């Protein structure tokens, strides 16, 4: 136990963990459906994996479990086999994702996730969010989607008002209002839980004539590693993509919180913890899991102080499993609306459009990946691979230039180009050079649409060099969405 450096749990951790569980239980059902899996598998992926993750994680706030993007990637990676075989294939996929992440962490190459540059992540996430919304539209309208593709089925659903189920639409609208409106009332408002209760009561007491969750087994998951091992080659590429891009969100979450609070965070340890969580999810009959920004934010706002909060979340879900049958009357329209509302915030139109003002090459990279994600659906992992290839090409074509200008008030440096794993050393070296001078330093990000953890580390190191001599580091024209990361430097 001492080797794990386990912190002492607190009452606030238990309360925060329980608050997250109230969101996670209905979300897990919805995300499993997004992955084209039985909804109850989401519950299996939300109990023991969270307990395992809490033992090894680095961030005290990061909450793991089923997420929208990982569920979409899971749907993309699974072959179009007999639906009865999909749970076993999903468990095998979770095991492979777990092995990849654990190995990356043990070898201390967690930085490999930054091969997927932020323009690629931005374009992919926005494209994936549109696909997620399209996939859930038929369900929210009370329809059953066919096999013609995500976007065509969404168009078909929207253009067939005569087939819509009014009860489903009403329940979906109530769910979306509670989900999005409740957040404006208070970040901890249990909108999802209230929507689920309304849906269950509605379905149980009124003549609801659309699809419900139906079969939800009660009790502990059937632990097994009797998996279709012969399918490993089929799942290999998808598992690697999930291991990398599915880790990009938790990396962003954890480093944002670390920069805000000044706490230490270890990407390699997080990789190992996430790998172990996915291995446990496989053993427990679940599917791949990742970090959730919304649930991590709830965790922090609810007062979490250590990573035990995630463990308490897992315990609450575990205690709920023997009673999970109460979810059987839940209308699938409610689940679809939960996913719709969650995915809406992943679309970043202002950011995508604003990229053109800062760097046309990175804007083009993000938009190409965005369009490719929509075009190759459901094999969205191909868009990620394309993005990585284009990133490498952009790196060798344009590289990174850090221009310096000296003025009466100090030195101003302007990074121009892609800030990613291939240019970390160049940016750090340039900042160190100006920090060794005798003037204050200002970084102008006017032509840099993204910054990442390595950028923050280089800036923090420069601050340490400047401070003893009374000099300062400042910045202007910070990229959109970077305020929380930079806040830790300003303190």
Dig out the tokens for 446 from the structure.
């006017």
Which pLDDT does position 1 carry in this prediction?
Answer: 37
Alpha-carbon torsion, ordered 6, 12, 15, 21, to 10 deg: -40
How far apart are the C-alpha atoms of 101 and 271, rounded to whole Å?
A: 5
Query: Which CATH superfamily is 400-490 part of?
Result: STAS domain (3.30.750.24)
Domains of the chain, residue spans = 10-344, 400-490
Q: How many CA atoms lie within 13 A of 469 on its CB side?
A: 13
Residue in 253, 266, 343 with CA at minimum distance from that of residue 297? 253
Which pLDDT does position 341 carry in this prediction?
Answer: 92
* Helix, strand, coil tally for the chain in percent (to 5): 65, 5, 30
What are the pLDDT tens digits along the chain (491 aa)? 335 677 888 899 999 999 999 999 999 999 999 999 999 999 999 999 999 999 998 888 889 999 999 999 999 999 877 788 999 999 999 999 999 999 999 998 877 877 888 899 899 999 999 999 999 999 999 998 777 789 999 999 999 999 999 999 999 999 999 999 988 888 888 899 999 999 999 999 998 989 999 889 999 998 988 999 999 999 999 999 999 888 777 777 776 676 666 666 788 898 999 999 999 999 999 999 999 888 988 998 898 989 999 999 999 999 999 999 999 999 999 999 999 999 998 898 999 999 999 999 999 999 999 999 999 988 898 999 999 999 999 999 998 999 999 887 889 999 999 999 899 899 999 999 988 888 899 999 999 999 887 888 899 899 998 988 889 999 999 998 888 778 777 66
The SS3 call for residue 482 is coil
pTM: 0.89
Rg (CA), the chain: 23
How far apart are the C-alpha atoms of 441 and 462, rounded to whole Å?
A: 9
The conformational region for residue 113 under phi > 0 = left, psi -120 to 50 = alpha, else beta, is alpha
How far apart are the C-alpha atoms of 128 and 345, rounded to whole Å?
A: 12
What is the H or E stretch that residue 401 is in? strand 400-407
Residue in 279, 247, 246, 251 with CA at minimum distance from that of residue 59? 251
User: Measured between alpha carbons, how far is residue 154 from residues 157, 193, 376, 397, 456 in Å?
Assistant: 5, 27, 16, 39, 41
Alpha-carbon torsion, ordered 371, 271, 112, 104, to 10 deg: -130
Q: Which residues contact 434 (CB under 8 A, 6 or more apart)?
A: 404, 411, 413, 441, 462
Q: CB neighbours (10 Å) of residue 142?
A: 25
């Amino acid at each position: 136990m001492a080797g794990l450096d386990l912190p002492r749990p607190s009452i606030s951790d238990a309360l925060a963990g329980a608050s997250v569980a109230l969101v996670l239980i209905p979300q897990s059902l919805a995300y499993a459906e997004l992955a084209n899996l039985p909804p109850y598998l989401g519950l299996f992926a939300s109990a023991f994996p969270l307990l395992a993750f809490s033992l090894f994680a680095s961030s005290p706030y990061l909450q793991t479990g089923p997420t929208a993007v990982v569920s979409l990637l899971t749907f993309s990676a699974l072959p179009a086999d007999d639906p009865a075989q999909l749970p076993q294939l999903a468990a095998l996929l979770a095991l492979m994702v777990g092995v990849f992440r654990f190995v990356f962490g043990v070898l201390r190459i967690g930085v490999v996730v930054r091969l997927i540059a932020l323009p690629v992540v931005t374009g992919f996430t926005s494209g994936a969010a549109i696909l997620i919304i399209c996939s859930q539209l038929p369900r929210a309208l009370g329809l059953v989607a066919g096999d013609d593709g995500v976007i065509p089925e969404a168009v078909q659903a929207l253009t067939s008002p005569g087939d819509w189920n009014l009860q489903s639409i009403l329940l979906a609208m109530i769910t979306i209002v509670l989900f999005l409106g409740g957040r404006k009332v208070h970040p901890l408002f249990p909108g999802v839980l209230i929507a689920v209760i309304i849906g269950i009561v509605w379905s149980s007491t009124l003549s609801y004539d659309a699809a419900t969750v139906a079969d939800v087994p009660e009790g502990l998951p059937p632990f097994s590693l009797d998996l279709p091992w012969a399918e490993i080659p089929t799942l290999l590429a998808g598992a690697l993509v999930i291991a990398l891009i599915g880790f990009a969100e938790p990396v962003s979450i954890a480093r944002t919180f670390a920069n805000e609070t000044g706490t230490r965070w270890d990407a390699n340890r997080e990789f190992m913890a996430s790998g172990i969580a996915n291995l446990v999810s496989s053993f427990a009959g679940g599917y791949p899991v990742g970090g959730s920004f919304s649930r991590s934010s709830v965790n922090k706002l609810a007062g979490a102080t250590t990573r035990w909060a995630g463990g308490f979340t897992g315990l609450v879900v575990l205690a709920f499993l023997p009673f999970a049958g109460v979810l059987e009357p839940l209308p699938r329209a409610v689940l679809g609306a939960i996913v719709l509302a969650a995915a809406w915030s992943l679309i970043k139109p202002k950011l995508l459009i604003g990229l053109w003002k800062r760097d046309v090459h990175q804007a083009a990279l993000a938009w190409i990946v965005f369009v490719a994600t929509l075009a190759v659906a459901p094999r969205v992992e191909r868009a990620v691979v394309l993005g990585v290839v284009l990133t490498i090409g952009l790196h060798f074509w344009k590289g990174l230039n850090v221009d310096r200008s000296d003025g009466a008030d100090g030195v101003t440096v302007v990074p121009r180009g892609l800030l990613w794993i291939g240019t970390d050393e160049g940016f750090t070296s340039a900042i160190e050079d100006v920090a060794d001078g005798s003037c204050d330093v200002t970084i102008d990000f006017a032509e840099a649409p993204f910054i990442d953890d390595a950028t923050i580390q280089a800036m923090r190191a420069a601050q340490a060099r400047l401070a003893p001599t009374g000099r300062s580091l400042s910045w202007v024209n910070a990229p959109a969405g970077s305020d929380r990361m930079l806040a830790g430097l300003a303190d």
